[in-house]
Structure 1
Amino acid sequence: MRASVLSDWLAQRLERGSGQPVYRQLHRLLQQAILSRELPPGTRVPSSRLLAAELGIARNTVTQVYEQLVLEGYVSSATGRGTFVADSSPDEIVGANESGYMGTDRMALTRGAAASLVPAASPSSGSAVAPTVGTHSSREAARALSSRGTRLIAGAGVSKRQGGAFMPGVPDVSRFPSRVWTRLHNKYWRSLRPDLLTYAPGGGLALLRHVLADYLRTSRSVRCSPEQIIITTGIHQSVDLAVRLLTDSGDVIWTEDPCYWGLRSVLHVSGLNSRPIAVDSEGINPSADDFAAPPKLILVTPSHQYPLGMVMSLARRRMLLEYARQHQCWIIEDDYDSEFRYGSRPLASLQGLDDAGQVIYVGSFGKTLFPGLRVGYLVAPESLAESFAMASAELYREGQLLQQAVLAEFIAEGHFTSHIRKMRGLYGQRREALLHAAASRYGDALPAMGGDAGLHVVMQLPEGCDDRAVAEAALARNIVVRPLSGYYAERSRAASGLLIGYACVPDEEIAPAFNTLAEAIDVTLPAIA
């Protein structure tokens, strides 16, 4: 029997110097070839002596591999006859006949595939077979995503870069008081409390819920008890939890247009019918046609509209609350960047005006502390609090209790408010530096908006300008900005602009980085250069 074809194929793939035992490599290669039917059932494999000689390895190694394959059912061995690939096909397959064997079409296909693998040889040359390359990966590539998975990937806005000039929405984590945090963290590890190393109870750690309730009441005018607070991993999970409990597939939800792409993705995979509602200078602005078809949910960012930055007026807030009360709609208030306002006090929450219990308030510590903390919160209406706490524990099996304990003490000792106060001053300076750099370069030609709060400004581009092309040109120069058009539900109605984050850029780097960004803008828009 001629074994040179199979042995040559194996020899090319054995990585002798990789540190991985040859036994494991040989077992894996033969196993894969059999599973992919590149070594079809009935194929006779070379003897252990012959294959060992061809590969230049110990015969005992090949013998051990064959014995393992026999135990696993991949091959069968009979004394005096040799070792053959076993038929491991499922008992029931599409196209099988009553006796359990494959139909003629499948058999022909298998024989044809096998024939294409066998080298030209005389009938007496034996049956050693060389597997082809790439069949397995081709089958994997052919697997299609679900329709909602396809929509999610097609509309994904997540960036491979999560920092640097001018990444929007990222705080300066280098200024985080790590020594204080480490001290508190070590304190809990030294005590080694078992109750902090298990799953979280429904709603999260009681201590964190209590200090959060106090903080939200005083700083955001949120009306809540500790029992209404549900600790989550962030805004995405908070909205996902509310959507799962309060809607069914096909229900209508109003979203601001433009809005944060991440929440739009959460809504898409939830099977909701998202209806984009345009915003004006006072916030979300439903039309008469919109009012005629009440939604199940309304998702808004009233304190600092994302991404444009306007504040929802008191008249618009009262209108929205009254409409929700009359039509039994739920409102999700995303209190994005509420702590960072420059030149004025943070505004009171929409939830604080709600007398009917229609508002679900959500927030996180990703911008105020650091994104990797992955701690957020949801304030449920009193009537829903118990259900939300139970559902959170049921769906997500939360943990991170030690982290929650550290955060609770960090807030209780006053470090949280102190950190926000310091960062508000720092970000205000960086905002001014960015606006100055933009005005020095372009004057009023490219106005900035939304710059009195949050961690980014929006630079408006001329109508018809491809802001995605500008963002790509900037990325080629190692500058990260986001195209404003990507935040609109329909690009045909989108405004053109750039989201420029300043929080994570050191003061001295803002002007040079903006000059680099300007090069990308000027290349794309030569008329304003």
Structure 2
Amino acid sequence: MRTLVGDLVACRLGQTAAGTLGKRLYDALQQSIQKGMLAPGTRLPASRDLAAELGVSRNTVMAAYEQLQSEGYLTTRAGSGTFVSASLPESDLSAVERIVSADVPSGQIALSRRGEQLLNRAGASQRQWGAFMPGVPDVRHFPHKTWHKITRRLNLRLPVETLSYSQHGGYAPLQHALADYLRVARSVKCTPEQILIASGTHQSLDLLAKMLCNPGDRVWVEEPGYWGHRSVLEINGLETVPIAVDDEGMTLPAGVAPPRLICVTPSHQYPTGAVMGLARRQALLRQAQAWGSIIIEDDYDSEFRFGESPVPALQGLAQDENVIYLGTFSKTLYPGLRTSYMVVPDSLTARLKVAHSELYRGGYGLTQLALAEFIREGHYAAHVRRMRQLYGQRREALVGTIRRELGAEFIGQDSHAGLHLILALPPEIDDVALAYVLEQQGIWTRPLSVYYRGEAKRRGLILGYACVEAEAMTETFMPVVHALLPLLAK
């Protein structure tokens, strides 16, 4: 049986014909170790096995092993085998440096202007869990046993087509289950054929930017708004135009050039939490229709409203095909599932599905079938109900703590929804510096000011409460209070 180490050594032996076979084998192993191709702790094949793979005598392999062991490159463990040493001999460090420097060109590879811009404006945090990281659900409550039963059952009779690439924008069972769910839960007007399954909202937006826009086209984005929208749009060469947000979400400025796309979060504006009222929604739909603009509705966490009636999707109000609805399971289930969906107009459905297959090679057949069963059997709706109650209790605990420890004026716009709220700060307090201080104490927040492209109009901390138990909310929030009070006293 062939091994990866055997293949590596055979390849390196074939690259040189100078010297005896024993010397060439020794050099191949030594250089593979020095260059890191054989990492410390790697187990080498038994001498007899490697000899058979390479078609050489066992004595030749044994001699190379023994020489490398005497020089400190290899170690042996009784009954376990031969392994690459944890550290290289000190005498060979300079040799390693010479090899590495010979393989790596001097200087850095230049990025494109778009690439540099993307990195300079990147907003993704290295930490994606814990208090008070916004936008993250409590994944500990995911019903793993139920999910395991479904996936185990499906694995026993998994259709062969689910093991290949998806050619139809997702698998039909999930498209049908989602269409039924969205019509009832979000008042979305759709058929199963209009649903396209993607690997996250970013991928959906990337596809729409590529297929609906030309480089240089203008796109309205909310100000402040989600950094991910801007990043995806701008890497595709589009001009993002920040449009101010008020207490009802995106405003409708007069005397501006019509955009190709309008990206909006009407049910729970991110990050302010504003909810777009009916009159504003109807005005936005009329304006987009008059311009021929397409509205991209990101409905990222609309399932979580506490104590108020659900806000129906903007898409359900549209009289023509100028709204594309984006949804995700990242907030209701868990982000690592990497499954989202969009409802696209009939006239675009077939073309977008072909483009999605061409660009991203859809798959995740088992996951999609499991999600379909999870929804149809009622587990999804039940899980959302449980989490809505849990998050509602945690939100109440955080709001109560803020009122008690700081005062009601520190609570930003309260939409009674979502997985985060804003701790409002006076304009003289540097929210970026405050967030950094809290990060050193293991408290993860996001400063509101960084969500503005232009000059920040408001300062605050975005607090995600989903991952903090209600009983521990006050204790967990106290480091924020202790860091803030000295700043307020100045």
Shared fold (TM-score, shorter chain, > 0.5): yes
Matched residue type, 1:435: V
Cross-structure match for 2:183: 217
Q: Distance in 2 between matches of 1:189 and 1:397?
A: 22
User: Is 1:254 matched with 2:217?
Assistant: no
Cross-structure match for 2:29: 24
**Cα distance change, pair 137–501 in 1 and its aligned pair in 2 (3 A):** farther
Displacement of 1:131 after TM fit? 7.1
1:78-122 CA deviation, whole Å, 9 max, x = no partner? xxxxxxxxxxxxxxxxxxxxxxxxxxxxxxxxxxxxxxxxxxxxx
Q: Secondary structure at the match of 2:369?
A: helix
1:449-504 CA deviation, whole Å, 9 max, x = no partner? 235100000111111321110100010010000000111112x2342110000011
Matched residue type, 1:486: V
Displacement of 1:391 after TM fit? 0.9
Matched residue type, 2:173: L
Aligned-residue identity in percent: 47
Q: Secondary structure at the match of 1:302?
A: coil
Q: Distance in 2 between matches of 1:206 and 1:397?
A: 16
1:287 to 236, 253, 265: 253
2:142 to 155, 176, 180: 176
2:420 to 449, 456, 466: 456
1:478 to 442, 457, 472: 442
Q: With structure 1 as the length reference, what TM-score do the two structures score?
A: 0.74
Choose 1 or 2 for highest CA Rg.
1
Displacement of 1:132 after TM fit? 5.2
The answer on whether the counterparts of 1:152 and 1:269 sit within 8 Å (CA) in structure 2 is: yes
Structure 2: give runs of 5+ residues left out of the alignment.
Answer: 1-25, 38-63, 72-94
1:300-349 CA deviation, whole Å, 9 max, x = no partner? 00111111011111111111111111111111000121100011121111
User: Is 1:269 matched with 2:232?
Assistant: no
2:432 to 465, 468, 471: 468
Displacement of 1:249 after TM fit? 0.5
Q: Secondary structure at the match of 1:191?
A: coil
1:183-219 CA deviation, whole Å, 9 max, x = no partner? 0010011224322211112210001000100111111
The answer on whether the counterparts of 1:169 and 1:367 sit within 8 Å (CA) in structure 2 is: yes
The answer on whether the counterparts of 1:294 and 1:327 sit within 8 Å (CA) in structure 2 is: yes
Matched residue type, 2:370: V
**Cα distance change, pair 56–345 in 1 and its aligned pair in 2 (3 A):** closer
Alignment of 1:362-401 (within 5 A): 362-401=326-365
Matched residue type, 2:254: A
Q: Distance in 1 between matches of 2:443 and 2:465?
A: 12
Cross-structure match for 1:190: 156
The answer on whether the counterparts of 2:252 and 2:284 sit within 8 Å (CA) in structure 1 is: no
Displacement of 1:24 after TM fit? 2.4
Q: Distance in 1 between matches of 2:447 and 2:228?
A: 15
Alignment of 1:126-525 (within 5 A): 135=101, 139=105, 141-290=107-256, 293-490=257-454, 492-523=455-486, 525=487
Q: Distance in 2 between matches of 1:133 and 1:460?
A: 55
The answer on whether the counterparts of 2:295 and 2:324 sit within 8 Å (CA) in structure 1 is: yes
Displacement of 1:22 after TM fit? 7.2
**Cα distance change, pair 130–170 in 1 and its aligned pair in 2 (3 A):** closer
Q: Secondary structure at the match of 2:220?
A: strand
Q: Distance in 2 between matches of 1:131 and 1:377?
A: 49
Q: Which runs of 4+ in 1 moved over 6 A?
A: none
**Cα distance change, pair 27–437 in 1 and its aligned pair in 2 (3 A):** closer
Displacement of 1:508 after TM fit? 2.2
Matched residue type, 2:145: R
Displacement of 1:137 after TM fit? 9.0
Q: Distance in 2 between matches of 1:496 and 1:27?
A: 54
Matched residue type, 1:521: L
Displacement of 1:26 after TM fit? 2.7
The answer on whether the counterparts of 1:235 and 1:377 sit within 8 Å (CA) in structure 2 is: yes
What count of residue pairs does the alignment treat as equivalent? 416
The answer on whether the counterparts of 1:435 and 1:448 sit within 8 Å (CA) in structure 2 is: no
Alignment of 1:80-95 (within 5 A): none
The answer on whether the counterparts of 1:451 and 1:458 sit within 8 Å (CA) in structure 2 is: no
The answer on whether the counterparts of 1:431 and 1:451 sit within 8 Å (CA) in structure 2 is: no
Q: Secondary structure at the match of 1:200?
A: coil
Displacement of 1:134 after TM fit? 7.5
The answer on whether the counterparts of 1:306 and 1:336 sit within 8 Å (CA) in structure 2 is: no
Q: Distance in 1 between matches of 2:98 and 2:374?
A: 60
The answer on whether the counterparts of 1:449 and 1:459 sit within 8 Å (CA) in structure 2 is: no
The answer on whether the counterparts of 2:35 and 2:100 sit within 8 Å (CA) in structure 1 is: no
Q: Distance in 2 between matches of 1:496 and 1:31?
A: 48
Structure 1: give runs of 5+ residues left out of the alignment.
Answer: 1-20, 33-54, 63-128
